[in-house]
Amino acid sequence: MVNKPTGVDTHPSHENQHDSLSNFVASYFESQGVKCRAHPIHRLDRDTSGAVIFAKHHLSQAILDRMLQHKHIKRTYLAIVNGQLQKNHDTISKPIGKDRHHPTRRRVSPNGQTAVTHYTVVKNINNLSLLELSLETGRTHQIRVHLSHLGYPILGDTLYGGTKDPNGQALHAKSVQFVHPISEEPFTILAPLPKEKRWMLFA
């Protein structure tokens, strides 16, 4: 398990990139004399911090990939959004596809892939809301797209209409729950907010 900092790509985005989370994990194992092929089971956007599962060999990777596919890995997030939601908890079930007018942006599309996000309002702060969210699916930018589609973009997420904020994008993967692929021991792993995002709990 790795607690990804803000501003780091999960995977290298080009051949000569050496500052991705995957590179850092590989370098760590090498420094410890551990021979393995560390592979992230899921990814977080560059400006999203928090918990990422890495598999150390092909067998655990295959098992964890299957667990993720069958929704046996639960991921929980914290986000601060612009505005106050009308419902204290709800499920957003809207398919997501590529936005043909932008190279990286996604959008809700009837021809997109199934995407399901659950949210609960933790508290309201002036014209902001702190949410706890969990995913049934893992589409690119899923939480960001779904919340923006509702009209409540994430604070600092200017790609999807959020208000620019000096603290950056207010989205953090706070925990994951899963069963160990070999020992079958249940785990709940908590990822503390990084220093630059601790303000989210006191906003």
CATH number, domain of 56, equals 3.30.2350.10
Q: Are 160 and 141 within 8 A, CB to CB?
A: yes
pLDDT tens for the 203 residues of the chain, in order: 999 999 999 988 777 777 899 999 989 998 999 888 889 999 999 999 999 999 998 999 999 999 999 999 999 999 999 999 989 999 999 999 999 999 999 999 999 999 999 999 999 988 999 999 999 999 999 999 999 999 999 999 999 999 998 888 999 999 999 999 889 999 999 999 988 888 887 66
Distance of CA 146 to the CA centre of its chain: 13
How many domains are contained in the chain? 1
| C-alpha–C-alpha distance, residues 102 and 181, integer Å | 39
User: Does this model's pTM top 0.85?
Assistant: yes
Domain that holds residue 72: 2-201
Residues forming beta bridges with residue 147, ordered by sequence position: none
Told to judge if 45 belongs to the known catalytic residues of this protein, a careful annotator would answer: yes
Q: What is the DSSP string of 28-43?
A: HHHHTT-----EESS-
Beta strands in the chain (DSSP E): 2-4, 39-40, 49-52, 54-55, 74-82, 89-93, 96-98, 106-108, 116-125, 128-135, 171-179, 186-190
Catalytic residue among 9, 45, 99, 165: 45
